[in-house]
Amino acid sequence: MADDRFGKSGRAVPSSRLSRLGVFGRLAGGVAGGMVAEGARRLASGELPRLSDLLLTPGNALKLADRLSHLRGAAMKLGQMISMDAGDLLPAELSAVLARLRDNAHHMPPTQLQSVLVRQWGPDWRQRFQRFDPTPLAAASIGQVHRAFTQDGRDLAIKVQYPGVAESIDSDVDNVATLLRLSGVLPSGLDIAPLLAEAKRQLHEEADYRREGDQMVRFGALLADAPEFVVPSLHADLTTDRVLAMDFVAGDPIESLLTASQATRDTAMRALIGLVLRELFEFGLMQTDPNFANYRYQPGSGRIVLLDFGAVRPIGASTSDGYLALLRAGLGGDRDAVRDAAVAAGFLGQAAVQRHRPLVDRMIDVILGELNRAGPFDFGDRAFVGTLREEGAAMAADRAIWHVPPVDTLFAQRKISGTALLGARLKARVDVRALIAERLDGGNVAADASL
C-alpha cells in the first residue's frame, strides 16, 4: 500500500462504559464547581440566583460542549440535535455553545483507528488497499470517513465507527437527559420517556452500518428516476456492523451554493423540497437527519449528493395523513381546519388551544398568509419568524401546556424544519405552494395513504 500511516492528530474516544461515565463525572464536577463560584459571585452582589441560571453560565456551557465533543457517539449526537431543534426554547448561552458541536468532532488517533480496523477487517486489512488515506475526510458524532483505493481499482469512502459508541447509547442518552432536567429547560411534569426510548432505538439503528448500507441501496433504487440526485453505491464486501464502504462521490459542501446564482440556489432547493414531499407522501420512508453535511453539491452537473442514511425511518400512514390534512387545510386558507388538523396530528396540544386560542389563531393566520402568498416563497425573508416568536412567547412560558407530539411526527418535522433552515441559509426562492399542490393532486398521496 502506498500510504499505510495514520495521521498524528486526534483525540481518543472513551470506549468503555466506565471511561465514558468518568467523562460525565468530570463534567458534573466541573459544572458543580462553576455553579458554586457563580453562586458566590451573585450572592456577594446581592442577587438570589436560580439553579438553572447557575447551571447555564457560558463557562459551564463551554464545559458541556467540550465533554460531549470528546465523548462523540450518542452524547454528541443528542447535543447536535438539541442545538438544531430546540431553537428559542434554549437559553442563548447554551444554544450558541451547543451549536459548536455540529462542526467540532475530533477524529480518532492512529492507534485507536488501527485497532478498530483490525477488529473489523482482520490484521491483514492493509493488503486490500493500494492506499488508505490516514486523515479522515470528515469526523462526526458516530464515525469518521476516510478515502481509500482498493487493489482492484475502486475509489471508496470508508466510514469507521468510533469504538464503544453502540454499547454506550442507552447510558449516554440517560445522562444527557439528566443534564437537561437539571438545567430546568424541561418542565418537571413533561413525560419524555417515550421520546428517550425512541431516541435510543434510532441511535442503535444509526450505529448499525449494515442497516445503513441497506437503506442507502433502498434510496438509490427509489431515486433512480431522479437525475438531480446522486446516491453512493454500497460495497458490501467491505461493510461490517461498524464499517461502511461506499463509492467516493465528489462534491462541494451544500453551503458552497451561497455564492451561486439565485437561479442555481432556487433549483437546488426546489429539488430538496420535492424530495421531502416524495419521502412523506410517496416513499413512506424518510431520511430524518437534516444536517447540512449530509448534502454535497456538484457544480458541473448541478446534482445533489445524498449522504448518511442511518437515520432513515418508515413514515406511517397516520403521520402522512396528518400532514395531508394540515396541508390541504392550509392551501384552502381555512384557519379552523388548520387548527383542528394540527391538534389531530399532535402538533398542538388541546390544552394550548383551550388556554391560548387567540394566540394560536394569530399564529395560524401568519402561517396562512405566508403559505398562500402568490409567487415564490422567499426563504431568506425571515420577518414572519420573529412575529411567530413574539406571538408564541406566552405559550412557551406556560409550561402546563407543553406536550410531546407523536414520535414519528417529531422526526418527520425535524427533516422538514431542517430543510427550511437550509432554504433560509441559501436565501432560496421557491414556489412551495405549487409544489405542495402538485403533490397533493398527483394521485400518489391517495394511493399511499391507505398503506
Q: Is the dihedral of CA 374, 375, 376, 378 positive or negative?
A: negative
3-state helix, strand, coil in the chain (%, to 5): 60, 10, 30
Angle at 289 between CA 24 and CA 84, to 5 degrees: 60
pLDDT at residue number 203 = 84
204, 169 contact by CB (below 8 A)? yes
> What value does the CA radius of gyration of the chain take, rounded to a whole number of Å?
23
pLDDT at residue number 272 = 98
| Contacts of 233 by beta carbon, 8 Å cutoff, 6+ apart | 217, 220, 246, 247
Torsional class of 61: left (φ above 0), alpha (ψ -120 to 50), beta (otherwise): alpha
pLDDT at residue number 139 = 79
> What span, in angstroms and rounded, lies between the C-alpha atoms of 447 and 438?
15
> What span, in angstroms and rounded, lies between the C-alpha atoms of 443 and 337?
22
pTM here is 0.79
pLDDT at residue number 59 = 53
DSSP β-bridge partners for residue 377: 430
214, 241 contact by CB (below 8 A)? no
Angle at 267 between CA 263 and CA 271, to 5 degrees: 170
Tell the residue number behind the cell numbers 456551557, with chain if given: 61
Q: What is the DSSP string of 394-411?
A: HHHH-GGG--PPPHHHHH
Per-residue cell: 229: 440526485
Q: Which ranges of 223-349 does DSSP label H, i.e. alpha helix?
A: 262-278, 317-331, 335-345
pLDDT at residue number 80 = 47
- DSSP structure class, residue 6: P
| Contacts of 189 by beta carbon, 8 Å cutoff, 6+ apart | 399, 400
> What span, in angstroms and rounded, lies between the C-alpha atoms of 148 and 407?
38
52, 39 contact by CB (below 8 A)? no
pLDDT at residue number 113 = 94
Per-residue cell: 7: 495521521
- Residue 358 CB neighbour total at 10 angstroms: 9
What's the full length of the chain, in residues?
451
Tell the residue number behind the cell numbers 464499517, with chain if given: 243
DSSP β-bridge partners for residue 131: 3, 149
pLDDT at residue number 372 = 86
> What span, in angstroms and rounded, lies between the C-alpha atoms of 408 and 352?
21
> What span, in angstroms and rounded, lies between the C-alpha atoms of 274 and 268?
10
> What span, in angstroms and rounded, lies between the C-alpha atoms of 378 and 430?
7
pLDDT at residue number 129 = 98
- DSSP structure class, residue 142: S
Tell me, rounded to whole angstroms, the distance of Cα 332 from its chain centroid: 31
Residue range 197-223, pLDDT digits in tens: 887 888 899 999 999 999 999 999 999
The parts of the chain modelled with pLDDT lower than 50 are 1-9, 13-56, 69-76, 79-80, 82-90, 103-104, 443-451
pLDDT at residue number 2 = 40
Which position among 289, 308, 321, 408 bears the catalytic label?
Answer: 289
Q: Could you tell me which of 328, 391, 314 has the C-alpha nearest to residue 357?
A: 391
φ, ψ of residue 230 in degrees (nearest 5): -125, 130
In the chain, the amino acid numbered 96 is: A
Half-sphere exposure in the Cβ direction for 96 (13 Å, CA): 9
> What span, in angstroms and rounded, lies between the C-alpha atoms of 145 and 139?
6
SS3 79: helix
Per-residue cell: 259: 455564492
Known catalytic residue: 289? Answer: yes
Tell me the angle at which helices 193-206 and 407-426 cross, rounded to the nearest 10 degrees. 70
